Amino acid sequence: MSLENYKCSEQYLPVTTKIKLFIISICLTVGTFWLLSSWFNTLHSAYKLLPTVKLSIGGTLGGIIGLGILIYSWSIFFTILKTGKATKYSWSKRKIKVQNSIMTFFFIAGFIVSALTYFIVNDQLLSDGYSVKTKYTNMGIYKTYTKNEN
């Protein structure tokens, strides 16, 4: 078989590839919702003015961007289940453009939401008399706000 025929053939994906994609999608889902739960816990703690509030800038960013990746990943998985073919053979140019627009939206929204969360939570807690301890690591910026007992 020549290379041209191989490139143009619409081969069906084996079951092992479908299972691998399913496992990857499940792992992405768990990771994204773990990051989002961290963000929700931060918002809840800041709203209730609990004695200690932990804020992770990267958690918010990763969670929001992760939503776009989840939509893309599950869309690929269900397309492969439905057609049995790789998405490069079954998705139209319009579908690819829509998926890329969704990814771009969540990428931009992630930065906006992260910035808003940081500024709103930071201003609210500092104005309510919290002290802040900042930790810089390779993975991100972590802030721990502690209520000052006067």
Condensed to tens digits (0 to 9), the pLDDT of residues 96-123 reads 999 999 999 999 999 999 999 999 999 9
Whether residue 12 is predicted with pLDDT greater than 70 in this model: the reply is: yes
- Label the pairing between strands 130-136 and 141-147: antiparallel
What Cα–Cα distance (Å) separates residue 58 from each residue in 38, 84, 133? 10, 36, 16
pLDDT bin (cut points 50, 70, 90) of residue 138 is confident
pLDDT in tens, 42-65: 999 999 999 999 999 889 999 999
Whether residue 89 is predicted with pLDDT greater than 70 in this model: the reply is: yes
Rg over alpha carbons for the chain, rounded to the nearest Å, is 21
pTM for the full predicted model: 0.81
Tokens of 109: 């929204």
pLDDT bin (cut points 50, 70, 90) of residue 84 is confident
pLDDT bin (cut points 50, 70, 90) of residue 145 is very high
- Label the pairing between strands 130-136 and 52-56: unpaired
Q: Which of 69, 57, 74, 70 is nearest to 122 (CA)?
A: 57
- What pLDDT does residue 85 have? 86
Percent of the chain with pLDDT over 70: 92
pLDDT bin (cut points 50, 70, 90) of residue 150 is low
pLDDT in tens, 14-51: 888 889 999 999 999 999 999 999 999 999 999 999 99
